[in-house]
């Protein structure tokens, strides 16, 4: 089998016909999450490293530079290139936590 | 119903009902990599019981519903930072490698990408090379994935003993699948309801990268996960208007081709429903 990328069998309008409603729902879920955070009125949220990455990812959603999913993955990724010296915690938390003094 | 092979399913943590659901939806074989039990084990001795479960108990449980059960042995990356434990467990593994359902070493890899985890990963590679074993590799799940995958790929490429075609690097996502495939490895995509890849995104990756050397799996374990994630993926491919031959390529032929590199992996039913050998696949999307 030849290995080559392609856009998929569906036209753009067919994709919209099939997938608009469920993605509309996802968008509303995101909006509701952000509204919920606003209602909490907790200033700590704005300083939280996860929410800083989250808001940057939301901005990326609405640009037109392509490969949004790849770029958003990298927004959440640890940019370091070397292994760490010790285990800090067992599980990941979803966004890179900068060391003190970083960004 | 289309037959499929689940490359990554932690059945040791699942119920008999899950085996039945998988059989009812077309699963003919699965591979069960060693995993973290949800807690750190207190000693290496606990792994003797676990390896017994993977090589003796689960194959019988699967066989009751007609599924072939295969396994991979190791210390999972979640416990790999503990070097004394890792060394003790790795010493135990060779005596299990001759069991008839053992395909190789896995799922080894990295979790939080510590120096100790990298050292344990290297120990597992040495073990696999010494015993000519295939390898199944775990990559970290969230913010660590890119960094961890990159270090894993670099480590493997520097090791002249490694054949990339006998290694599957699992939990690939949009930002890592390129570096896996471009370096000759097989890429696994694990389908999860929350933390990993949805069927929609998995299909996007197949469309963008092409279908060669890509497998999908449920990776089901004790956390939120779906043992029948692969038939749901197939359903989503149909919804996206991919052909049945394209679906079969991803969920059956690719895993069969990768796993058949082990002489232990056998599928009696590598024929289609009419008893004929499966025809070569059409290009993905051809109609």
Contacts of A84 in chain B (CB under 8 A): 112-115
Torsion of CA B209, B215, B216, B220, to 10 degrees: -140
Please indicate if any CB of chain A lies within 8 Å of the CB of B260: no
Please state, in angstroms and rounded to a whole number, the distance separating the CA atoms of residues B76 and B35.
5
With the C-alpha atoms ordered A84, A88, A91, A97, is the resulting torsion angle positive or negative?
Answer: negative
Q: Please give the average per-residue pLDDT across A10-16, as a whole number.
A: 95
Nearest by Cα to B142 from A96, A99, A40: A96
Please indicate if any CB of chain A lies within 8 Å of the CB of B151: yes
Q: Please give the average per-residue pLDDT across A28-44, as a whole number.
A: 97
CB-based contacts of B242: which residues, under 8 Å, 6+ apart?
Answer: A8, A9, B203, B284, B285
Residue with tokens 């999860």: B192
CA B105 from chain centre, in angstroms, equals: 11
Q: What is the pLDDT of residues A47-99, one digit of tens each?
A: 999 999 999 999 999 999 999 999 999 999 999 999 999 999 988 999 999 87
Q: Please give the average per-residue pLDDT across B262-279, as a whole number.
A: 61
The answer to whether the pTM exceeds 0.95 is: no
- The alpha carbon of residue B25 is apart from the nearest alpha carbon of chain A, in Å, by 25
Q: Check B174 against A2: CB less than 8 A apart.
A: no
pLDDT at B270: 43
The ipTM estimated for the assembled molecules is 0.91
Least CB-CB distance to A1: which of B208, B212, B241?
B212
- The alpha carbon of residue B73 is apart from the nearest alpha carbon of chain A, in Å, by 21
Least CB-CB distance to B283: which of A2, A84, A95?
A2
Contacts of A4 in chain B (CB under 8 A): 210, 283
Please indicate if any CB of chain A lies within 8 Å of the CB of B79: no
pLDDT at B92: 98
Count of A–B CB contacts within 8 Å? 108
Please indicate if any CB of chain A lies within 8 Å of the CB of B256: no
Please state, in angstroms and rounded to a whole number, the distance separating the CA atoms of residues B17 and B19.
5
Please state, in angstroms and rounded to a whole number, the distance separating the CA atoms of residues B50 and B36.
11
Please state, in angstroms and rounded to a whole number, the distance separating the CA atoms of residues B125 and B129.
6
In the structure, how many helices (H) and strands (E) does chain B have?
11, 8
Report the chain B residue with the minimal C-alpha distance to residue A3.
Answer: B210
Residue B279 has pLDDT above 60, yes or no: no
Q: What is the pLDDT of residues B227-270, one digit of tens each?
A: 999 999 999 999 999 999 999 999 999 999 999 999 999 987 54
Q: Which two tokens stand for residue B240?
A: 């996206």
Residue A2 has pLDDT above 80, yes or no: no
CB B236 within 8 A of CB B275: no
Residue B49 has pLDDT above 70, yes or no: yes
Contacts by B126-130, CB closer than 8 A, 24 or more apart: B127/B90, B127/B93, B127/B94, B128/B104, B129/B159, B129/B161, B129/B162
Other CB atoms within 10 Å distance of the CB of residue B140: 24
Q: Partners of B260 in the beta sheet?
A: none
pLDDT classification of B285: cutoffs 50, 70, 90: very low
Q: Which one-letter DSSP state was computed for residue B33?
A: E
Q: What's the start-to-end Cα distance of chain A, in Å?
A: 46
What are the two backbone dihedrals, phi and then psi, of residue A77, each rounded to the nearest 5 degrees?
-85, 150
**At B147, which helix (H) or strand (E)?**
helix B145-158
pLDDT classification of B195: cutoffs 50, 70, 90: confident
CB B19 within 8 A of CB B35: no
Contacts of B146 in chain A (CB under 8 A): 73-74, 77-78
Mean pLDDT across chain B: 93
Could you tell me which residue, B165 or A5, shows the higher pLDDT? Answer: B165
Which residues 29-68 of chain A have a CB within 8 Å of chain B? none
Q: Which one-letter DSSP state was computed for residue A101?
A: T
Q: Which two tokens stand for residue B120?
A: 């344990």
């Amino acid at each position: 089998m030849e290995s080559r990328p392609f856009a998929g069998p569906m036209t753009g309008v067919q994709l919209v016909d099939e997938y608009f409603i469920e993605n509309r729902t996802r968008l509303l879920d995101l909006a509701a999450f952000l509204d919920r955070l606003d209602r909490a009125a907790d200033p700590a949220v704005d300083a939280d490293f996860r929410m800083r990455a989250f808001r940057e990812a939301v901005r990326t959603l609405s640009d037109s530079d392509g490969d949004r999913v790849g770029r958003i993955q990298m927004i959440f990724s640890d940019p370091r290139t070397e292994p760490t010296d010790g285990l800090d915690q067992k599980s990941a938390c979803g966004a890179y936590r900068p060391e003190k003094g970083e960004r | 119903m289309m037959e499929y092979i689940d490359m990554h399913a932690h059945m040791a943590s699942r119920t008999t009902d899950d085996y039945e659901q998988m059989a009812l939806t077309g699963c003919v074989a699965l591979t069960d990599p060693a995993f973290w039990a949800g807690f750190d084990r207190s000693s290496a001795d606990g792994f003797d019981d676990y390896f017994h479960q993977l090589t003796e108990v689960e194959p019988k449980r699967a066989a009751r519903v007609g599924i072939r059960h295969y396994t991979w042995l190791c210390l999972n990356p979640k416990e790999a930072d503990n070097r004394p434990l890792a060394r003790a467990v790795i010493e135990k593994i060779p005596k299990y490698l001759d069991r008839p359902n053992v395909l190789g070493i896995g799922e080894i890899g990295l979790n939080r990408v510590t120096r100790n985890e990298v050292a344990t990963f290297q120990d597992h590679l040495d073990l696999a090379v010494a015993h000519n074993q295939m390898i199944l590799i775990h990559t970290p799940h969230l913010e660590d994935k890119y960094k961890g995958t990159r270090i894993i790929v670099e480590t493997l490429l520097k090791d002249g003993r490694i054949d990339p075609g006998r290694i599957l690097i699992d939990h690939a996502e949009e930002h890592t699948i390129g570096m896996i495939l471009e370096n000759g490895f097989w890429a696994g995509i694990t389908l999860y309801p929350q933390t990993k890849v949805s069927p929609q995104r998995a299909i996007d990756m197949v469309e963008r990268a092409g279908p060669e050397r890509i497998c999908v799996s449920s990776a089901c374990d004790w956390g939120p996960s779906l043992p029948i994630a692969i038939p749901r993926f197939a359903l989503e491919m149909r919804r996206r208007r991919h052909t049945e031959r394209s679906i079969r390529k991803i969920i059956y032929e690719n895993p069969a081709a990768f796993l058949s590199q082990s002489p232990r992996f056998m599928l009696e039913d590598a024929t289609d429903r009419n008893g004929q050998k499966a025809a070569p696949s059409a290009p993905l999307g051809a109609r």
